[in-house]
Amino acid sequence: MNNSTAIRQYAIVTGNYWAFTLTDGALRMLVVLHFHQLGYSPLQIAALFLFYEIFGIVTNLFGGYLGARIGLNRTMNIGLGLQVIALALLTVPTHWLSVPLVMGAQALSGIAKDLNKMSAKSAIKLLVPGDQQGTLFKWIAVLTGSKNALKGVGFFLGGALLALLGFKGAVLAMAAALALVWIASVILLKQDLGKAKNKPKFNELFSKSRAINILSAARLFLFGARDIWFVVALPVFLSSQLGWNFWWVGGFLASWVIGYGLVQSAAPALLRNKNDAAPTGSAALLWAIILALVTAGLALAISTSVAITSALIIGLILFGIVFAVNSSVHSYLIVSYAKDDGVSLDVGFYYMANAMGRLIGTVLSGYLYQLGGLSLCLWGSAIFLLVVVVISTALPKAAVPKAD
């Protein structure tokens, strides 16, 4: 693949990822705020996302296998199509909008999201020459950072659409827009992208290098630590305890995630050294330690401070900056550790751990908030990050090892 073709395919993959992310972030905010407005408890709202996370775990595991067999273009387009169906399911009349229906739609959305993410992250590995690890880090950082910035825009979009169009009108508008993106992707995306030369065997789903296993375990607790306070606890706290309206909640979370995404995109510049070398496991360990300290400080401030709003905003800004660097380093390391042929097998396994962490974090977000409020959620996050630090001590400190 020549350079111009690679850049063109990268642009298509990134555009697909961007469009999907907007609808994913908006749908998350729509569901949280709409069902909170209907009187659902934090734990009940968390339960609405259980299938989203559970099916994400399964999808990452088997989606990597599927991508290696049929090509990443097809798995990405399947993901886009499933998201359109998930959104369409939620356009039914309000009295049909039962908990089982919402959970089913979220299950489809979880499958769609992780097919899309796994395909996008795996594709980048194939578009960058193996001896250009610095370039790979930059491309991964831009893809991941821009995606998260747009997810923040999606949070704001969700709050705004709920206020302007109502729940049904919002999901209908998003379904129509994403359907157009899906049609364009089917036409433009390269047909053999990511298809393994040697068809992978089913038992290869679990056959990973030590480095990938360690990194996957660290990722599980890293994203569990974020979602313990972010998924349910924070928006409900802002709405019920601080009295913020939909616009304020959506706008604040949007700004936070946009800033977080911009920092992710800038991570290669922030971590640049004199040799312009890509990060190693040592960087992952260092930034995990810093994040654990920041989170413990935020939890302490929320538990004791009378200026809750100021402490929360300042603390979340610091958390977002450090978490963004952690996530960017992890996202690079998994793509770099993955083997070239059938890259989606390794990336899918890693993001299975990511989805499992989100599932655990989502459940704990509702449960701990109901038990002890936002401060308890933040202490839970700090404990998870301590586990990340311990696991990260075992990551390779120097040269990047390849999966066996």
Closest CA to 146 of 21, 327, 8, 256: 21
Position 363 in a domain: yes
pLDDT tens, position by position, 315-336: 888 998 999 899 888 888 887 7
Q: Rounded CA gap, 318 and 286, in Å?
A: 16
Helices (H), 189-232: 210-230
Whole-number Å distance between alpha carbons of 262 and 266: 6
Instruction: Supply the range of the domain harboring residue 232.
Output: 3-195+204-392
User: Within the chain, which residues score under 70 in pLDDT?
Assistant: 1-7, 9-10, 64-65, 67-68, 121, 123-135, 190-208, 246-247, 273-277, 306, 339-344, 398-404
> Do residues 42 and 370 lie in contact, with contact meaning Cβ atoms separated by under 8 Å?
yes
Give Cα 245 distance to the centre of its chain. 25
In the chain, the number of structural domains is 1
Residue 403 lies in a domain: no
Q: Is the residue at 399 inside a domain?
A: no
- Residue 206: what pLDDT? 57
- For residue 404, being part of any structural domain is answered with no
At residue 404, the pLDDT reads 44
Residues 6+ apart with CB under 8 A from 137: 267, 268, 278, 279, 332, 336
Rounded Cα gap, residues 98 and 107, in angstroms: 14
Please tell me the predicted confidence (pLDDT) of residue 377. Answer: 92
- Amino acid letter, residue 229: W
Angle between the N-to-C axes of helices 281-304 and 308-337, in degrees from 0 to 180, rounded to the nearest 10: 160
Which pLDDT belongs to residue 341?
A: 57
In-domain check, residue 313? yes
Tokens representing 145?
């950072």
Q: What is the pLDDT of residues 392-402, one digit of tens each?
A: 999 887 655 44
CATH of the domain at 176: 1.20.1250.20
Q: For the whole prediction, is pTM greater than 0.85?
A: no
- For residue 314, what are the contacts with CB-CB under 8 A and spacing of at least 6? none
| DSSP secondary structure of 24-59 | HHHHHHHHHHHHHHTT--HHHHHHHTHHHHHHHHHH
Is the distance from CB of 349 to CB of 61 less than 8 angstroms? yes
pLDDT the model gives residue 22? 85
CA separation for the pair 230, 378 (Å, rounded): 9
The pLDDT assigned to 7 comes to: 67
Q: Is residue 364 part of a domain?
A: yes
Structural domain contains residue 129: yes
pLDDT of residue 16: 79
Give the single-character DSSP code of 391. Answer: H
Q: Is residue 401 part of a domain?
A: no
Q: d(Cα 351, Cα 341) in Å, to the nearest integer?
A: 18
